[in-house]
Structure 1
């Protein structure tokens, strides 16, 4: 089990392949296809952030937590907490609307987050004064286009009211806080045996520089 957890981002690639096959061959609606495609790209997004080239944990520590601590063992972030946070977020934001298609704000929340990912990674670039950050490629070439396709070709504004938009944003905030700021997340980050590799923590680019 520990070996699997320490390779969660590599396993994500295989899960992406499985979801891609389901998206192609299952008789699904356009909305379901967008959700499945989002899940597929998100699994690849996790690999880009934590596998290759990696380096998202360092980015998160610098920009989201506001610290320049370079000792990865002091981050309260490891493979266990990273897997919990990312996979749980995916399940709550993207799998749940597949299971509850009549809860409109869930689908809206999932699609809005696709565009938010592109915006966030673009902001990361501006703050880092760089042309790339871990996760940017899958965000711009995968998540963003799915979101744009949904809102141009699938989205029906008549189905939603102001409350749906408010609930969609509120749901994202609640899920984010639970997955990445809760006592569960921080507690898992302190457990031994799930240390981040240097490539995962700092990224290939930073390792090459050093």
Structure 2
């Protein structure tokens, strides 16, 4: 995913003709759901719930207002010839599934092989956060993280590993609370070199919480 594509994601609602509702409309929608659940939004304990829910949505889905490619726009070329793996492990993933809007909670490992330049390590964590703060499938999110790093930085390879539990599966439906979903994406040298790929996976496992 390049910068233009990511910008398109940010503008998806306006591009499709969907008008974003006002805060008052969003709060009223929460009151409707409260009534549908069987409770009274006018009772004391629920009076401020619509405001709290809308505020929480602003945080949970903040990724729609941010451009992941822009986070990778500034690189550093003075790396004294360093050309090995740059890897971040145990990054928190807090997302929501697009099918039930239930939480997806887990961790991500991301690595890339620099080609003459590196990016500030916090920017990689920011990319993970931006894509996780959207309605997602884990498979799509894993690919998006790799695609934007590949497109923005042109490294020799990218590796992404995500291990997460889906509350749509643990608290409803099949009710399997201990099931963890693992997704991976490899590009460039990571995809072509099994030993490099295995090294990445060992480091992910060794640093797992």
Pairwise same-fold verdict (TM > 0.5): no
TM-score by length of 1: 0.30
Larger radius of gyration: 2
Relative contact order (alpha carbons < 8 A, sep ≥ 6): 1 or 2 greater? Answer: 1
* Higher share in strand: 2
TM-score by length of 2: 0.30
